[in-house]
Each structure stands twice: as C-alpha cells, then as structure tokens.
C-alpha cells in the first residue's frame, strides 16, 4: 500500500491519487502544508495499484535517454517573451510550437487564492498563466487523467513540471506515447504552501491591501539579481531582490521550508527521465560572456530522440548555441545535488503558527541581515560586473 512509503520520501506527485480505481485516496495537507496521500480503508480494495505507480517505490528509468544530454544555451528572439520569462523564454516558444500543431500544454498557474495548480491550455493567450517560476509546490489535481484522455484521442501534449511530477505522470500512463513531450526543470526543491501563504499574509498586513499578482524572478534588477515583485489591489507594489526578500532568504540561503523529500531527491540523476529539461544557465558568463546579457539565458537539456525532434520545431524562434555538459553543471549544482535541510527546520515550523513571517525570518536568518553581509554582497556584485566588462 502507498501509505507504507516513508513520509519523508513521498514527493506528493499525486500519481497514486489519480491511479486509484476506487477513488479511495485523497491528497491532504500535513502540519507543514505538504500534500500526502490518505487512504479511505472502507473504499480501498487492496488492489495495490497505488504502489505500482509510485515513481519513488519503482525507481523509473528510460534507458534510451541520453547520458549526458545534449546541452544548449538559448533565448527567444522575441524580446518581450525573453524579458517576461524566468530564463530565456524557451518554454514559451516550445509551448507555442505545440499549440500551432493543435496540441495542448500542461503547466503550473496561480489560482484565485494565489496558490499554484496545474492546468491545461490550448491557445497562445493561455500560456501567459504558465510563465514564470512559482516557488511553491503545485497541485496537479486530476491532470494526469486528463492528459491520458487527450493522448488516447491522438493529441499532442506538452507537460512541464518538477522532475518528480514528470516521473509521476510517466508512471501513471504506464507506456510511451509518441505525442507526449515530457519536460521537467532543474529543480532546487519545492516550498511549503503554508509558509508561502504566511509570507503573503505578512505583505498584505504591511500594505493594508490584497495581493493582486505575484512574480518571482522578476528581472527589474536584472536576471542575475532576480527579484520578487508583488502587486497589490490598491496599485502599490513590493519589490526585493533575492538577497533581501525574506521568503527567498529562507528558501535559497537557509533551506528552512522545502518538502522533506527534496533534501534527498531521487530524480537528480542521469539519464533524465524527461525528453527535455530546462533551467537558468547560471555561470555561462564565466566561459561564454556573450551569452549573458543579464536578460535571461535558458539552459536546455535534450534528453531523448523525441526531445531532439521537438527542439527542431522551436529552433526558428530561438537564438541558441550548443554548450558542454561541464559548462551546465559547473553553475548548476541542483542538477545533481539536493540541498541540506537546515538543522533548525523543525523548530522553524513549530514557531510558524505563533509568529509573523517577517519576525520569524529575522529570528532564524539573523546573519542575512548583518552589515557585513551587505558589504560582501556589494563587493561580489561589483566584482562580477568588472569581470564581465573585462571579458567583453
């Protein structure tokens, strides 16, 4: 049974939830806000399908996928697409190519509560909801079942999610579909929706206005110093870069509220399970400064022959350059490494219910608010700019 899986190994991918023929499984949030399967014993028929589709239990592989993958740096030739995307806009161009073929695109969007969920779009206008990074775990709901119906009807489908969600879909489907293009991204780890909502509540209390829109990795200060932009209903906005926004400090610098399974991710390996993997090409300026104009550069892994065919469809909309896997991995530790959980993680979650988010972060991230740190960040930023200028 799926509830025999150790809790800290469950990724919340929802494959078991979607596969259960008697609908005996619900995905319920635990005390940290992460979804886990819960079985209704009265409805359960002990068929064990839930365990059969679990990508953690079954350790899926696609032996025909490339190891290492083909690597490209790229960005959209449409400047607006590039600037409004998290990286270089490759995902948008890939999605547009699928929609032109009368296909469907499945990705993560914000809902009316500003939480994140997977949805299916079939037109270019709908792609605007799927752009940008969203630093909380997405609820895939019944997406896998809908995707299977679309594939069985002969439609092209592009799916994009975390590596564990892509594995969950692959396992749920149970076989290869030629018209499915499976994509994942270089994932550091997914954060607790509960913590994220505490963060938004803090901002709403501070601004005395409801949140209208959230944009993570906003490029107002540049791609390398990406920011968090929150727009409010009264027209005001909040913007802080990655080094000063409390939510990003707790996530990137201190590892307080990622899902437990993310600290020992089983999907950071080669060959990748997906056809294409995407991410930010961090560090590309060190070897190829002409590929970093601080506007966003996509890192692309072509992992399979199918991925290669779909990449060919997108090339006319891209500037691209083939790179080495060493260049990709040197600036992207998250390709292979799982972040180490903060030793105070459990204590952080205990205090979460009793303390405002800003006070909590200041208590648990004291060193991030020191003057020494500010001077260090200033000197690092200056050094990076000088090196880039000299190389050019």
Write the CATH number for 42.
Answer: 3.30.70
* Helix axis angle, 357-364 to 345-352, nearest 10°: 160
At which of 33, 52, 71 does a domain end?
52
Q: Could you report the per-residue pLDDT of 155-204, keeping only the tens digit for each?
A: 999 999 999 999 999 999 999 999 999 999 999 999 999 999 999 999 99
pLDDT for res 382: 56
- Residue ending a domain, among 10, 28, 52, is 52
Q: pLDDT at position 386, please? A: 62
Which pLDDT value is given to residue 151? 98
pLDDT > 60? residue 93: yes
Domain membership flag for residue 69: no
Rounded mean pLDDT of 128-157? 95
pLDDT the model gives residue 379: 60
- For residue 155, being part of any structural domain is answered with no
Whether the predicted pLDDT of 392 surpasses 60: no
Q: What is the pLDDT of residues 207-239, one digit of tens each?
A: 999 999 999 999 999 999 899 999 999 999 999
pLDDT single digits (tens) 295-350: 999 999 999 999 999 999 999 999 999 999 999 999 999 999 999 999 999 999 99
Percent of the chain having pLDDT more than 90? 88
SS (H, E, C) the chain: CHHHCCHHHCCCCCHHHHHCCCCCEEEEECCCCCEEEEECCCCCCCCCHHHHCCHHHHCCCCCCCCCCCEEEEEEECCHHHHHCCCCCCHHHHHHHHHHHCCCEEEEEEECCCCCEEEEEECCHHHHHHCCCCCCCCCECCCHHHHHHHHHHCCCCEEEEECHHHHHHHHHHHCCCCCCEEEEEECCCCCECHHHHHHHHHHHHHHHCCCEEEEEEEECCCCCCCCEEEEEECCCCEEEEECCCCHHHHHHHHCCCCECHHHHHCCCCCCCCCCCEEEEECCCHHHHCHHHCCCCCCEEEEECCHHHHHHHHHHHHHEEEEEECHHHHHHCCHHHCCCCCCCCCHHHHHHHHCCCCHHHHHHHHCHHHHCHHHHHHHHHHHHHHHHHHHHHC
- Statement: residue 375 has pLDDT above 90: no
Domain limit, last residue, from 32, 52, 72: 52
Give the domain extent around 13: 2-52
What pTM did the predictor assign? 0.92
Residue 73 in any domain: the answer is no
161 occurs within a structural domain: no
183 domain-assigned:
no
How do residues 74-84 score in pLDDT, each as one tens digit?
Answer: 999 999 999 99
Q: Is the pLDDT of residue 380 over 80?
A: no
With contact defined as beta carbons under 8 Å apart, do 110 and 134 qualify?
yes
In a domain, 168, yes or no: no
Q: Confirm whether 87 is domain-assigned.
A: no
pLDDT (average), residues 117-133: 93
Higher pLDDT, 61 or 171: 171
Least reliable range by pLDDT among 3-12, 146-155, 360-369:
360-369
Local confidence band at 59 (pLDDT 50, 70, 90 cut-offs): confident
**pLDDT at 390 (0 to 100):** 61
Average pLDDT value for residue range 234-256? 95
154 part of a folded domain? no
State the total domains in the chain.
Answer: 2
């Amino acid at each position: 049974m799926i509830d025999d899986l150790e809790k800290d190994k469950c990724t919340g991918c929802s494959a078991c939830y979607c596969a259960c023929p008697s609908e005996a499984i619900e995905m319920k949030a635990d005390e940290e806000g992460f979804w886990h399967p819960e079985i209704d014993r009265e409805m359960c028929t002990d068929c064990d399908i839930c365990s059969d589709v679990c990508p953690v239990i079954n350790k899926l592989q696609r032996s025909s996928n490339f190891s290492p993958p083909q690597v490209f740096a790229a960005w959209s030739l449409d400047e607006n697409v590039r600037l409004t995307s998290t990286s270089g806009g490759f995902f948008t161009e890939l999605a547009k190519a699928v929609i032109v073929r009368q296909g469907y695109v499945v990705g993560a969007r914000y809902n009316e509560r500003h939480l994140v969920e997977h949805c299916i779009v079939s037109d270019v206008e709908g792609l605007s909801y799927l752009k940008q990074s969203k630093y909380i775990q997405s609820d895939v709901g019944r997406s896998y079942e809908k995707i299977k119906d679309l594939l069985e009807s002969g439609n092209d489908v592009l799916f994009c999610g975390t590596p564990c969600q892509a594995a969950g879909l692959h396992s749920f489907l149970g076989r290869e579909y030629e018209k499915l293009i499976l994509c994942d991204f270089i994932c550091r780890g997914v954060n607790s929706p509960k913590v994220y909502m505490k963060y938004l509540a803090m901002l709403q209390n501070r601004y005395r206005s409801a949140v209208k829109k959230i944009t993570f990795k906003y490029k107002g200060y540049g791609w390398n110093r990406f920011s968090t932009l929150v727009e409010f209903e009264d027209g005001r906005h909040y913007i802080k870069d990655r080094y000063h926004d409390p939510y990003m400090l707790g996530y990137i610098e201190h590892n307080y509220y990622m899902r437990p399974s993310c600290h020992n991710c089983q999907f950071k390996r080669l060959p990748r399970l997906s056809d294409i993997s995407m991410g930010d090409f961090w560090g590309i300026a060190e070897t190829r400064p002409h590929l970093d104009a601080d506007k966003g550069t996509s890192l692309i892994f072509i992992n399979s022959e199918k991925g290669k065919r779909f990449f060919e469809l997108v090339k006319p909309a891209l500037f691209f350059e083939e790179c080495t896997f060493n260049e990709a991995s040197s600036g992207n530790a998250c390709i292979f490494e799982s972040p180490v959980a903060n030793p105070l993680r459990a204590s952080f979650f205990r205090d979460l219910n009793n303390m405002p988010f800003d006070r909590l972060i200041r208590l648990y991230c004291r060193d991030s608010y020191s003057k020494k740190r500010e001077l260090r960040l200033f000197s690092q930023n200056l050094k990076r700019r000088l090196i880039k200028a000299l190389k050019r």
